[in-house]
């Protein structure tokens, strides 16, 4: 986020780099192959990258944030319904409005709608596992979805990914995208998962949602709160540092 002192040009608040996972984490095998091994070379952003819009209100459909309805064909998707909501905040805990939040996840059986996913688990014809929404004036986003299942992923012997949801946020240009993952409280698989253990231990709680009875809708869906802080002392760990 940008800050500005009187009479000065806008400057970026320093990031808490220690909060983020490293590009290369040996326990997460694919990072060894795809993570940069040399210092990054900063490139000056073009005028188009800095100013072009990403998405507007007109591109968001009525059911884009309701994953129980946006891919329905012949019935309800299978699994435990849940509500995921939270606020996107800057380093001073101020709301960030009109920010696009994307979500993608596995279905209740732990399988993605993707040709590369060959997990021996059923696909749900009524569940796509993807959605998006814009934050409101208070920086709040909200999704209705199905709680994802755990799944094997072959990173190490008997490797299973914890239940999790992927989230990405866009700023004012295509170049300003942040990606993170949200986990569920009390999941015993988190201690074995290098994607979360790659984040320094004292910051991992920032990746775990809080169960909320206030958000829970009686007889219908459990509620979870997950705030995303873009910068500063409470910064959410992101995969693209």
The catalytic position among 87, 111, 132, 164 is 164
The catalytic position among 28, 141, 151, 224 is 151
140 is catalytic: no
166 is catalytic: yes
Cα 237 from Cα 241, distance rounded (Å) = 8
The catalytic position among 20, 87, 111, 112 is 112
User: Exposed, middle or buried: residue 198 (CB in 10 Å: 0-12, 13-18, 19+)?
Assistant: buried
Q: CA separation (Å) from 230 to 165, 192, 217?
A: 18, 27, 29
The catalytic position among 166, 183, 206, 231 is 166
Token couple for 210: 């809080």
206 is catalytic: no
28 is catalytic: no
Which residues contact residue 133 at a Cβ distance below 8 angstroms, ignoring those fewer than 6 apart? 60, 64, 65, 100, 101, 141, 142, 143
94 is catalytic: no
The catalytic position among 161, 183, 224, 231 is 161
Coil, strand or helix: which one is 189?
helix
* In the chain, beta strands by DSSP E: 2-3, 11-12, 81-89, 100-104, 130-134, 140-146, 151-152, 160-161, 164-170, 177-183, 210-217, 221-225, 228-229
Annotated catalytic residues are 112, 151, 161, 164, 166
């Amino acid at each position: 986020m940008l800050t500005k002192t009187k009479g000065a040009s806008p400057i970026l608040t320093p990031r808490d780099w220690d909060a983020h996972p490293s590009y290369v984490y040996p326990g997460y095998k694919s990072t060894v192959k795809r993570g940069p091994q040399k210092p990054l070379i900063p490139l000056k952003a073009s005028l188009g990258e800095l100013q072009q819009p990403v998405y507007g209100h007109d591109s968001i459909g009525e059911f884009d944030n309701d994953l129980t309805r946006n891919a329905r064909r012949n019935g309800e998707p299978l699994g435990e319904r849940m509500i995921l909501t939270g606020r996107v905040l800057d380093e001073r805990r101020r709301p960030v409005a009109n920010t696009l939040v994307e979500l993608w996840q596995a279905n209740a059986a732990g399988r993605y709608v993707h040709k590369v996913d060959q997990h021996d688990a059923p696909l749900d014809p009524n569940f796509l596992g993807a959605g998006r929404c814009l934050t409101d004036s208070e920086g709040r986003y909200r999704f209705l979805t199905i709680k994802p299942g755990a799944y094997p992923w072959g990173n190490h012997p008997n490797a299973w990914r914890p239940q999790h949801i992927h989230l990405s946020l866009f700023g004012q240009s295509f170049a300003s995208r942040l990606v993170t993952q949200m986990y569920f409280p009390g999941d015993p698989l988190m201690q074995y998962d290098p994607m979360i253990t790659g984040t320094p231990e004292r910051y991992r709680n920032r990746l775990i949602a809080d169960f909320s009875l206030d958000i829970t809708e009686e007889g219908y869906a459990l509620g979870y709160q997950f705030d995303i802080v873009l910068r500063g002392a409470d910064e959410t760990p992101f995969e693209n540092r």
